[in-house]
Structure formats: C-alpha cells, structure tokens
Amino acid sequence: MRCVKIFVVGLSHKTAPVELRERVSLGEAEVRHVLTQLRDSRTVLESVVVSTCNRLEIYGLGPSARAGSDFALSTVATHAGVDRDELKRHAYLREGEDAVRHAMRVACGLDSVVFGETQILGQMRDAYQLALEEGATGSVFNRLFREIIHVGKRAQTETSIGREAVSVSYAAVQLARKVLGELRERQVVVIGAGHMAGLAARHFAAQQPKSLLIFNRTLERAQALAAEVGGDARPMDEEGIAEALIHADVVLSAIGRGQYVVTKEMVAKALVARRGRPLVILDIAVPRDVDPDVPSSASLYRYDVDDLEGVVAANLEERVRQEAAVAAMIEEGVRDFSQWLAEQAVVPVIAALHQRGEAIEREVMASLLRKLPHLTERDQKVIHKHMMSIVHQLLREPVKNVKELSLQSGDPTYAETLAALFGLAPETRHNRVRVEWGETPSYAADAVPRPALS
C-alpha cells in the first residue's frame, strides 16, 4: 500500500509583502501551466492552485509533503522569475488534517484581509474547476474540494459572519443605508482623500450611487480617488461644500485637521434650501470635521466616530460569536472528509471480497447446471437468488465489522487482515493508496500571528 499526504504550501497577506505577492500572482493561463507541470510530475499526484491578490496557495497530494511543497515552490519560482529561497522564507506549509482545516478556513473567509468576506469562496471554486479541466485532480481532491465548497456555502448561508460592518468606514455606509434605504439613486459626497476617506468612497461606490463627489485640498489626490471609484473630484472650499450640502443625500467627512469643515451655519442654510429632504452627515474624523453644535433633527441625521465605533464594536462581538459557529462547521467538514478517507482504505477490499463471493457462486452454479441440465430457467433463477443470498449473508458481518473497526481506529490493517483471510489477490491488498494524517513540517512563516479581526 502506498501512503500519500495532503499538503498546502503558500503565501498570503499575513506572511509575504505585497511586492512579492504581486510577482507571484498568476493569471488563468499561468495557473494552467503550473497545474500541468505538477500533474506531469511524480512528486505531486493531485493539485489545485489558488491565486488571488492576497494569496497564492498550492494544494497537493503526494508521497511526501516536504518534497511536494518544495517542487511546487520551485515550479512557481521558475515561472515567476523569483528566487525559490525567497519564496520559502515567506511560505507556510501545512499537512494532513491541518491542511484540510486551513482550506476550509480560507473558503469561509476566516483567513482573509476582510474577515468573513465571501469572494474567496468563488475564487476557490474557480480554482478547483480549473484544476478539474486540466486533469490535475483525482478522487481525493474531487471529494476534498466538494467538501470545502460545501462548508464555505454553509458559513455564508447559515451565519451572518460576512454581513456585518467591522470597520468605521463600512459602518458609515451601512448606517447611511439604514437611514435612506438603497443608495443606488442617491448623491454621495466624500470630503477627504486619505486612507479612511478612500475606504469609505470604495464602499459607497460598491452601492452604485447616482453620483459620488470627492472633495480634497489637494485636487490631484481627489482626482486619483475619483478615477478609482468612478466619481468626480472637486477642490475643497467652503462655497463648494456649502453647495454640496444642499444637493447631497449623504455627506461623509474624514479630514481630521482640527478645523470644522462643515459648520453649523452651513448646515442651517442648506436645510432651508432642502425643504425637509433628509440628509445624513457622517463625521469619521478625529478631531471632528463637523461642528458638534450641528443638531440632529427630523430631516438631519448626524453621526460622529463614537457612534460608528459603537456599531463596529457590537458587530465585532457578533462576528466572534459567528466565528465559533463557522469553526464548528469546519470541524464537522474535517471529520466527514476524514471518515471518507478511512472508508477508502476499506472499500477496495470489500469490493474485491464481494467479487470473490460472486465468482464462487458463478462457478458453483455452472457446475450445478452441468450436473442438472434438466433445470428450467425459473429453477435456475430461484437457485441463483438463494445462493447469492448465502454469499451476502456470509459476508455481511465481516464487512460491517471491518468497516467499523477501520473507522474507529483509522488503522487499515483490519482490511488487510480480512483480505488475507479470504485469500484475495496480493495487488488488492498492497497496490492501493492510503492518505495519511501527519504532523505538519513548519516553514518559518508558520509562526506569523493571526491579525485582529478587521
């Protein structure tokens, strides 16, 4: 019996700088090329390559996790023109059950930059489909990735882990939606073009508003952000912002330079011109950009960073609770796959055993017909049915017991013993593949701590 191991070797936002991730980011044609090289080797028997902007992972099945991962890294390094030792310094390697658990965590968004995000599941599904098309997978990975995708779908549909805002910028967008409903026909203004404002602008752009206007002191930065999100840029001046307050549905400010960008007087004049049309003002700056004396009213909804951080804190607590539920789903998925693996060590022997029983029945039936040629077709069918019943009854308990013992212990020798007792062919007993769960050999990057939920 040949023993093989499942492994994953890769780089992610947790272990590798963006400059390196950019160099090894693979397009579809490049992934196909790598899969072909892995498929044609004897070192990696089955493989799937996952390549996104934040990670490159090669899932493999082979006689040695260490040899398979080294070959996979060498293949990528050669293709990307990167030193293999440099890749290895930033790579993580996981084997067996840890590799399967890691894959399911990735599919559920627990290993993503945005904790709980859902896009990665589709990317893993596409990666598996590509490997399938290239003939790079076999029975083990076909079962494994179906289980991975199933667990990822459960996490999305049975929990809310990917649906709550866990950043101030995103919470601001969600709060605007809560007040105004869908933002598709709304006019949005973002004041600032720094990191926080940029995040907010991207989140607003995802809602496909009617218009998205970016104000900033440096017009070039406003133009760069506007080009990215499909908006318009304006230089920041009091007159322009005052005019925007009249027409906008949502105004978000993220300058934080200690001077009020939106004053009480500006808002008062805008509200007169708006004639009761609701306005949402979101101040995510510290120090605040919006005069705190601006009062909320029936048509004015004003929120500052403290309000939004309260939303984020509550959502983070909820995500932690949801993570526990997802973790339970992952462990269930790992157990189901492990059980399937254990069954595969027994199934060939059981199939061979039934074939041996049926062959004996055919031989006995042929001998009986030679001795009793006068038997009618009906008589033959009745005798055949009862003889097969004897075979199945004789095998039922041994088969049931060997399956249970193998599953409970994970020891394939029970199936070996059964095969030997019934005198099955040596190839049935020895020329089979068994997937081992093993200890994980660690690259240095394995020690990188998991970042906080954000």
Q: Any binding-site annotation on 192?
A: yes
Q: Any binding-site annotation on 196?
A: yes
Say how far apart CA 353 and CA 270 lie, in whole Å: 85
Q: Any binding-site annotation on 36?
A: no
Q: Any binding-site annotation on 117?
A: yes
151: which 2 tokens?
């667990």
Q: Any binding-site annotation on 52?
A: yes
Outline where DSSP puts E strands in 123-210: 187-191
Give yes or no: 108 in active site: no
Q: Any binding-site annotation on 376?
A: no
Say how far apart CA 270 and CA 280 lie, in whole Å: 12
Q: Classify residue 445 by its DSSP letter.
A: G
Q: Any binding-site annotation on 123?
A: yes
SS3 368: helix
Q: Any binding-site annotation on 216?
A: no
Q: Any binding-site annotation on 112?
A: yes
3-class secondary structure per residue, 295-340: CCCCCEEEEEHHHHHHHHHHHHHHHHHHHHHHHHHHHHHHHHHHHH
Q: Any binding-site annotation on 55?
A: yes
CB 294 within 8 A of CB 262: yes
Angle between helices 264-274 and 238-247 (to 10 degrees): 40
Residue indicated by tokens 């996981």: 94
Q: Any binding-site annotation on 54?
A: yes
How many degrees, rounded to 5, is the angle at CA 428 between CA 422 and CA 430? 110
- Residue 17 phi, psi (nearest 5): -70, 160
**Catalytic choice (53, 273, 328, 360):** 53
Which secondary structure element, helix H or strand E, spans residue 130, and what is its range? helix 119-133
Say how far apart CA 235 and CA 386 lie, in whole Å: 92
Say how far apart CA 289 and CA 264 lie, in whole Å: 11
CB 162 within 8 A of CB 109: yes
Say how far apart CA 276 and CA 23 lie, in whole Å: 54
Q: Any binding-site annotation on 258?
A: no
Q: Any binding-site annotation on 118?
A: yes
CB 208 within 8 A of CB 177: no
Annotated binding site for substrate: 52-55, 112, 117-119, 123
Annotated binding site: 52-55, 112, 117-119, 123, 192-197
Annotated binding site for NADP(+): 192-197
Mind telling me the catalytic residues?
A: 53
